Structure formats: structure tokens, C-alpha cells
Amino acid sequence: MKCKIMHETKGRLRVHFCLSRMTLHEADIAEYSLCALSGVKGVKVFERTCDAVITFVCPREDVINALARLSFTAERCTSLVPDHTGRELSREYEEKLTDAVIRRIVHKVVVPAPIRYVISALKAAKYIFRGLKCLFRGKLEVAVLDAVAISVSMLRGDFDTAGSVMFLLKIGDILDEWTHKKSVDDLARTMSLGVEQVWLKSTDGSEVLVPVSTVSKGDCVVVRTGSMIPLDGKVIEGDAMVNQASMTGESVAVHKSEGAYVYAGTVVEDGECTICVTNAAGGGRYDRIVKMIEESEKMKSAAEDKASHLADGLVPWSLGATLLTYLITKNVTRAVSILMVDFSCALKLAMPISVLSAMRECSRFGITVKGGRFLEAVSEADTIVFDKTGTLTYSKPQVAEIITFGGRDENEMLRLAACLEEHYPHSIANAVVAEAADRGLLHEERHSKVEYVVAHGISSSVDGEKVVIGSHHFVIEDEGCKVPDERIFRHLPKQYSHLYLAIGGEVAAVICIEDPLRKEAAEVVNRLHEVGFDNVIMMTGDNERTAKAVAEKVGVDEYRAEVLPEDKAEFIREAHRDGKKVIMIGDGVNDSPALSEADAGIAISTGAAIAREIADITISAEDLYALVELKKLSDGLMKRIHWNYRTIIGFNAGLIILGVMGILPPATSALLHNASTLAIGLRSMTDLQGREVADGNKG
């Protein structure tokens, strides 16, 4: 691609693409292609001027070479662009705003007064109809107040005031709709499936792990407990309980058996099933997510509900005050000044925009929030509970050592463990599979059907012998497997977590898992205390020794060891009974009950599918600093909402008082009221922490 450097500073380039014009799609290709370059912190492409601003920390030559290699037709570039980028949506509403402003200027400057009055009357019909519709439903809402204000202005012959009111209402509607759709669009794009590989069932009954992109209509895939269904299809074999909350809103898992239809993005909570694919990758998932977000009651925070109810509740008072003022003063102008000013417009516009803008800003920090009320819950929370594995520790533990018994071969034991564990992805299971891959160990499917016991382990059969793998509690206590060498068993390395493999009722190997702490864990815990959490608690299924060591290193206030999934949920219920607000962070299938129980459940993006599905908030796995930013953004949102309340009520009350006193005429009151509503709405759209902070966090 031929480009010209227009301006350059250290770590920043402004370039001009040598094109006569640039389409929206070409701008997306340029942006996503350049963003894919390692070391590029941010890219902003301006399709109208064919310019791009690139900020980077990599060598300048790498950026220049990337620009030279950029192609709008090459698959390596076009494949990087998602189906929905938001650029087209932004252009649509930019044009709507521009069109509204230009029409208003032409209306005021060019159109003769008589024609202007006729146009205003025609436009007013829409608002009057809305008001009458509310009255017919027996409700006094904002639409009634708008209709009365516009009608009275026109009856008094004040067409300019009526026109100004309608213009600013239209601008407010456009901004509200734009912000809402933009936030929903951003949120929907971040809620991708995250499924890269699936188990494809061949005609001979064997299973092969393949990329999801290679699956076609008519293929059969196998999905087991804790995994996300990757594609739409019909169940042809097996039984499963499927969580369909993301698609249908059902809170209880639905039983699916042969002949039932299942949807991409839903999660198998229990059981397994074989699915005949009816829709290949894509299949309308984005559109269904958008519909789910728009229809979900979770989008409404308590602050939004309060603002909406307060706005509607103030309408009768405004109408009553208008009538009372007229009865006392006998002055129509002073009475009408109250109609020109109401609290409702600003309250209904500013609060939802504030919440949706905060959700959008969260996405730039790698945080996906499923509803405004969860930001409110985070702001109010005083207790934060961590699951250890995959949250305080890295999501990819490593195999440190393999101890075998009875002269068994170390690689063979690892091969068998990987063969079983790969069916149920979890951080420890992934570590076993990765170690086998690193050693070049191929593991054929020699076992029979595998059974997953949540938070315990896996049971199967190999060559006629029962094989189990899992925790000490599951293998030694529940399954009663024998230990062939007590001396070795008693001296297992204490610094590691242990995964026990038993064959035929006898322990065959112990896989030592090293699960290193995240390098930022201790600092994040300290900063969580600083930003307002009174209690930071860690819960884990690990033994007391391991839990205590980790707790001391990261500095949590309290820890619980050897807990089961139901124990975590019960702890949160107890905290609620004590009047505490609790948020929970986890990444595994066993964290799902606690994530549901918490005021806000937070999942790690690389965690189990069911955890991400049930969670109210998902954060990037890159680091835990996103939790600190989440708390700051939540607190910032609540401060903004409270500021909006004070400003709207204070400013508009002042306008009403000045109008009743006869100091401000109705037209001026209407102008100041609508201008302040627009200003507060625009302010509510701005970032809580600033784009520079977000970009810096990304880098």
C-alpha cells in the first residue's frame, strides 16, 4: 500500500493512504491489520480523509513494513476483520446528527416564517400524538409533558420556542439511540464464543480434535460437561442438561436428548451429547447476542430504574405547578415557563447513557459487562472472593514432576493422563495435555466413555481396567485406591499440587503441578484494599498447606482450603446474611455456583465456558489489574450518576424559580433547559478515566 507520512513524533505516526477515497471496509482492514502487529498500541483510521494515526512501541521499521505490506484484497488482511466493527454504525449516526443540525440551520435561516410555522406544526403532531397515547393508557409520563409544552408554545404563537424544544428532543433521541446501540454493539462483539477446537466424530465412531472453522453442515461433534456448544445443531445421541440463558433467558438448565435442537453459545452443565451441525461457524450468533442484550432486564441498573421512575413521577408535579402558578399569578407566561423546564428529559437521557458509556469503556480495558446493575454491584461491594487456580495463579499451570509407582514408565503415565484430561478442559487438565504435547507423546483413544465428577476428577476404563484421575480426596478416599509405596507417598514434594492417577484400584502415578502465582497478584490484592474492598478472600480446593502458602504470598485477609463448589456458594450466602455485598472471581466449572450466588460474578476469559456464561462480568486473562480498573470505573460511574442528579435537579429548579419570578421568559428557559440536557448527555458519554489511560493499560 502506497502511503505518505504526514507527521511523526516518537512512537506516533500520522500517515495518508494514497487513495482517491476509502470505504468503511477498507478502513477496517487497515485498522485491524495494523493492530495485529506486535508492539502497536493503537490505530485510528479516518476513512473520510484516508488518514491513519498509529501509536507504537515496536521499531519504526516494523510499522513502515506493515504499511507497505497492507492489502485491501489479501486474505491475510481481510480475515482479521470481524463481521461487525462498529464503524458503519458510527457513520450512520454521525450522518443523522449532521443532517439534523443542517436541517435546523436551513429551517431557521432560509425558510420563510409562514412556511416555518407550518413545518413546526406538522412536526409537533408527532409529539402531541405521543402525549395523547400516554394519556389514553392512563399514564402521566414525560411524553405528556413534552406534548403540553410544545402545544402551549404553539397556541401562544411562539413557534420558535416550540421548534427549539423539538430540535433538542430529536438530538437527544439520536444521541441516546446512538450510545445505546454503540454500547450494545461493542458488548456483543466482545462476547465471542472463544471456541477454537471441537471434537469431531467420524463415521467409525472415533473422535478427532479439529479447528471449529473446518466443521461443515452435517458434521457431528461431541460436547461434554462444562464445554460450550460451538455450533447450532440437533442432538443425535446422548443426554445433557444445557444452560440456555444467553439465548432464551431461561435460568434453569434444559434437558436435551435425541432429536432436540441446541444453539451455539449455550453450555453443557452436565452430561454429553453428539450434535449434527445445522449451521456452520457464524450462524447468526452476533444477532442473537444483540437481541439478548437489548431484551435483558440486566441492562437496567437500580440507578437507571430510579431515574426512569423519578422522571415519570415528576411529570404530575410539573403539570400541577404550572396550573398552581397560573391560578396564583394569573400570568400565562410564568406558568408556561414551568412547562418549558422539566427534570424528566435530562434524567431519562443522562442515566442510561452514563451506564452504557461506562460499559463501553470497560471493554477497552478487556472487561465485558453484561448489564449496568453489575457495575453498581461492584461499586457497592465490600468483599471480594477469589478462586485460587487460574485467577490468583496463571491460567496455564505446568507439570513440574511425575512420580510413578510399581516401575511404570513416566511417559506412558503422562500419555494416559493426557488422553483422559483433554476431554474436560481446565487449567490443570490443560497443563497435563500441554506437557504430553511438549514431550511429543501421541495419545490414542484407548479408553471407554469418560465420566467427569465436578471438582473431583475423571473415571474411565482402559483395556478392561478402571482408571481414575483427580484429587487425593477422589482417588484415595472416594475410590479407595491403594498406595503401593507409603514411603514415597509420604514424601511427595509439598510445594506442588498433586494429581493422582490410579489403574485397577492402585495409584500408578502422581503428577506434580506447579501453578505459579501471577506476578501481579500481590500488588493487585493490595490495590483492591486501597480502592475500597474491606475483605479480600481466597478459596481453593487445594490442601491447607498449599492454600496457606499462597495466601501469605498474596496478602489476602482470609482463606479457605479444601472447599467444594457448594462450600463457596454457601460462604457467599452467609456473607449476604451478614449484610455484605460480595463479588466472586473464578474460572472453572466448580466456580459456577458461587459466581451465580454473588452480587456480581466475574470470570476469567480463558476459563471454562460455563463459568464465562454464568458470570456477569468477564475480564481478560492478561492480568488482574482489570479488577482494579473495574472498581474504579464502577465508582466513577456512581459518582457521575450522583453528579448528574445534583446538577439536573439544581439547575432546572433554578430555571423554574427564575421563570416563575418573571426573570426568564419561557423561550430562554426552554433554550437553557434543553442546552443543559444536551450538555449533560454529552458529558455522560465521555470516558470516566480517559482514553489515554485505557490505551496505556492495553499497552
Catalytic residue among 342, 387, 587, 616: 387
Kindly tell me the sign of the dihedral angle through the C-alpha atoms of 313, 317, 318, 319. Answer: positive
CA-nearest of 663, 651, 678 to 337 is 663
The pLDDT value given to residue 281: 54
**How many other CB atoms are there within 10 angstroms of residue 369's CB atom?**
29
**How many other CB atoms are there within 10 angstroms of residue 138's CB atom?**
6
Classify domain 398-514 at the CATH class level: alpha beta
Least confident of 188-202, 478-492, 685-699: 685-699
pLDDT of 35 higher than 60: yes
Q: Is residue 538 within 8 Å of 556, Cβ to Cβ?
A: yes
> How far is it, in rounded angstroms, from Cα 339 to Cα 415?
77
Name the β-bridge partners of 510.
Answer: 403, 500
Q: Is 387 a catalytic residue?
A: yes
Listing from the earlier edge strand, what are the strands of the sheet with 51-56?
A: 3-9, 12-17, 51-56, 40-46
- b/e per residue, 662-696, with b = 16+ CB within 10 A? eebbbbbbbbbbbebbbebbebbbebbbeeebbee
The owner of cell 456480581 is: 600
The pLDDT value given to residue 484: 85
Q: 92 in the Ramachandran plot: left (φ > 0), alpha (ψ -120 to 50) or beta?
A: alpha
CA-nearest of 641, 646, 621, 632 to 683 is 641
> How far is it, in rounded angstroms, from Cα 636 to Cα 527?
16
**Answer CATH for 368-393+517-633 from 3.40.50.261, 3.40.50.1000, 3.40.50.300, 3.40.50.9100:** 3.40.50.1000
The pLDDT value given to residue 234: 92
The owner of cell 494515526 is: 53
pLDDT of 556 higher than 60: yes
> How far is it, in rounded angstroms, from Cα 590 to Cα 564?
8
For residue 676, give the amino acid letter.
S
The pLDDT value given to residue 179: 61
Least confident of 114-128, 214-228, 330-344, 615-629: 330-344
Domain 3-81 and domain 197-292, same fold? Reply is no
The pLDDT value given to residue 50: 93
Q: What is the mean pLDDT of residues 119-147?
A: 85
Residue 14 CB burial class (10 angstroms; 0-12, 13-18, ≥19): middle
Q: Is residue 462 within 8 Å of 503, Cβ to Cβ?
A: yes
CA-nearest of 149, 147, 123 to 133 is 147
Residues contacting residue 136 through CB under 8 Å, at least 6 positions apart: none
The pLDDT value given to residue 633: 93
Least confident of 125-139, 415-429, 650-664: 415-429
CA-nearest of 87, 95, 90 to 43 is 87
pLDDT of 190 higher than 60: no
Kindly tell me the sign of the dihedral angle through the C-alpha atoms of 506, 509, 510, 513. Answer: negative
Q: What is the mean pLDDT of residues 142-152?
A: 80
Q: What is the pLDDT of residues 579-605, one digit of tens each?
A: 999 999 987 667 778 888 899 999 887
Q: Does domain 3-81 have CATH number 3.30.70.100?
A: yes
The owner of cell 444452560 is: 243
pLDDT of 447 higher than 60: no
Residues contacting residue 639 through CB under 8 Å, at least 6 positions apart: none
DSSP 374-425: HHHHHHH--EEEEEIIIIIB-SS-EEEEEEESTT--HHHHHHHHHHHHTTS-
Q: Strand, coil or helix: what is 55?
A: strand
The pLDDT value given to residue 536: 95
The pLDDT value given to residue 254: 81
Q: Strand, coil or helix: what is 661?
A: coil
Give the model's confidence band at 306: pLDDT under 50 very low, under 70 low, under 90 confident, else very high: low
Give the end-to-end CA distance of the chain in Å, rounded to a whole number.
26
CA angle 538, 628, 545 (to 5 degrees): 20
**How many other CB atoms are there within 10 angstroms of residue 368's CB atom?**
23
The pLDDT value given to residue 609: 63
Is this model's pTM higher than 0.75 or not?
no
Q: Does domain 197-292 have CATH number 2.70.150.10?
A: yes
- CA distances in angstroms from 417 to 169, 224, 455, 503, 504, listed in the order given: 65, 18, 17, 11, 14
The pLDDT value given to residue 296: 46
pLDDT of 204 higher than 50: yes
Long-range CB pairs of 322-327 (<8 Å, 24+ gap) are 322/148, 325/660
CA-nearest of 280, 262, 279 to 271 is 262
* Domain layout of the chain by residue ranges: 3-81, 92-187+299-355+638-698, 197-292, 368-393+517-633, 398-514
The pLDDT value given to residue 608: 64
Q: What percent of the chain has pLDDT over 90?
A: 24
The owner of cell 451478614 is: 578
DSSP 320-344: HHHHHHHHHH--HHHHHHHHT--SH
Q: What is the mean pLDDT of residues 1-24?
A: 91
Kindly tell me the sign of the dihedral angle through the C-alpha atoms of 280, 281, 287, 290. Answer: positive
